Amino acid sequence: MKLSEKLAALEEEEKAAENANGTLTPSAARRKAATATGPRPRTVPTSWDATKRQVRELVMEEVAPRMRGLTGDELTTEVKEAVDRILQREDVSVSPLERRKFVQEMISDTLGYGPLDALLQDATVTEIMCNNHDDIWVERNGLIERTDLSFADDSQYRQVIEKIVSAVGRRVDEASPMVDARLPDGSRVNAIIPPLAIHGSVLTIRKFSADPYTAKDLINFGTYTIDLVTVLEACVRAKLNVLVSGGTGTGKTTNLNVLSSFIPNGERIITIEDSAELQLQQPHVINLESRPANAEGQGEVKIRDLVKNALRMRPDRIIVGECRSGEALDMLQAMNTGHEGSMTTVHSNSARDGLSRLETMVLMAGFELPVKAIREQIASAIDIILHVDRLPDGRRVVTAMTEVQGLEGETILLQDIFKYRFLPGGERGKPLGELVATGLRPKFMDKMLEKEIEVPAASFRAPAPLRQPNGNGLRRRVRIPDDGEIAERERLR
Ligand SMILES: Nc1ncnc2c1ncn2[C@@H]1O[C@H](COP(=O)(O)OP(=O)(O)OP(=O)(O)O)[C@@H](O)[C@H]1O
Ligand SMILES: [Mg+2]
């Protein structure tokens, strides 16, 4: 049967299925529900999809045996020729424009990652989230939106997942249904498949910019101010230990990368991550990456093991991509024992919450340490916390730079040095605000003086308090009555 005849039969089948008043398949039901509520119409199987699927299978049949040993360009030519041949042979009529698009899509499907290629090339996309073969979402400018792209079918989707995962020597199957991987450009990938992902395989790609953000970029985005950068640079040069805190996807790793760019060139830096994302530009950097267990449950190397190993590698600074568990204890110990200037990140809702999370993680190391002892370790190890957040309009901002000032009783004393303040006049969902100094002189200035690192006093100067149009301060003034007044009021009552 010719492809065109097959297609006609397929279309008939699709129509019959639509007309039958039976129940929808789970995928069709999801599609229907999403179309009703989603911002963009969902992809429905079209004859274009069906044609593509058929041609793709035929191309694969023709090209696969010849693929071994071919370079990228040679493969592209092979695929182009095979597509042309098959379109002609199977009598598929497509316009020249469609044909070009078809060839391009076929090349992507065969050699690349199918519909993901276009998204990977699109610089405005920062995250790709595939919830199913026909349900692809992206993040642009900090906001999530649904695309109308889709894989030809679930089998192509699974092939792409397997291709990505196997390229880094890992595998995804029932025995190992969730896996972290990386694309050749360094983008971070996570895949989780059924039965863990109940409605189908989920692929999440955090895109990686070949040209990492710099402090200048973050100033332009409104994440940093010049004053904050001046202070942060001095803190890093003075070897203060830094904790970057924030929610998921708020920019913790990006901030860690920018902070590490302030480390002077002469130092030996060791980075430790689950999935290497940091891109340090210094000449003397060693990158370590943890490893999950193999199929037999052996060979796992945790971040914790790497931190311990790093201590034997004569590091000047240790940068741990993210503290999630017991490694927090080793990290704190490293910070307290001669590896000042180290940095890490933690998932949390605020600076103080970040410290509580650290406390819990230290307990996860398995030692029954008293709370006070843990807090002492934290208070003497961490010097500053940089808290990042994502605003409702998608902007990522630093909402606080907080100094850890020590321990009083069992409480860790924190002092905001910079704080984000919201300004009147913002629209709904688009708040107006700015990061300003609180006007307090940080204790770490003594360390700066000791190391002869200068920070202009003006960087810490607080702006004038906000005023309402009528000139009154926004804060309500509360006058505390003196004892005489209180006694008089009591008497009158
Ligand atoms: N200040 C910023 N302005 C605009 N985009 C940013 C900013 N910081 C980070 N991004 C972008 O936001 C995305 C998430 O950043 P990043 O990976 O640093 O977040 P994260 O907090 O480490 O995430 P996770 O919790 O998943 O580890 C990336 O695509 C990054 O390029
Ligand atoms: Mg991160």
The domain limits of the chain are 1-111, 121-210, 215-460
Compute the average pLDDT of residues 138-142. Answer: 91
In the predicted model, what is the mean pLDDT of residues 457-474? 72
**294-298, 330-334, 482-486: least confidently modelled range:** 482-486
215-460 fold? Rossmann fold (3.40.50)
> Which range among 22-36, 142-156, 404-418, 462-476 shows the weakest confidence by mean pLDDT?
22-36
pLDDT at 168 over 90: no
Bridge-partner residues for 143, per DSSP? 140
The answer to which of 43-57, 78-92, 346-360 has the lowest mean pLDDT is 43-57
Residue scoring higher pLDDT (295 or 146): 146
Confidence label for 386 from pLDDT (cuts 50, 70 and 90):
very high
Q: Is the pLDDT of residue 351 over 60?
A: yes
pLDDT of residue 67: 67
Q: Are 397 and 387 in contact (CB under 8 A)?
A: no
Residue 127 CA: which ligand 1 atom is closest?
29
Ligand 2 centroid from CA 186, angstroms: 13
Average pLDDT, the chain: 83
Name the residue of 253, 256, 348 to mutate for ligand 1: max ligand atoms within 8 A of Cβ: 253
pLDDT band at 29 (very low <50, low <70, confident <90, very high): very low
Residue 1 is predicted with a pLDDT of 53
pLDDT of 217 > 80? The answer is yes
What pLDDT does 239 receive?
A: 94
Percentage of the chain exceeding pLDDT 70:
84
| Closest C-alpha to ligand 1, atom 12 | 251
- Range of weakest confidence among 63-67, 206-210, 306-310, 361-365: 63-67
Ligand 2 geometric centre to CA of 251 (Å): 7
pLDDT at 34: 33
Q: What is the mean pLDDT of residues 78-105?
A: 80
What spacing in Å lies between the alpha carbon of 254 and ligand 2's midpoint? 7
**What confidence category does residue 28 fall into, taking pLDDT thresholds of 50, 70 and 90?**
very low
Pairing of strands 317-320, 188-192: unpaired
User: Whole-model pTM above 0.75?
Assistant: yes
CATH number at 121-210: 3.30.450.370
More confident residue, 187 or 204: 204
Q: Which residues have a beta carbon within 5 Å of ligand 2, which is an ion?
A: 252-253
Residue with CA closest to ligand 1 atom 7? 251
What pLDDT was estimated at residue 9? Answer: 55
Given a cut of 50, whether residue 128 has pLDDT beyond it is yes
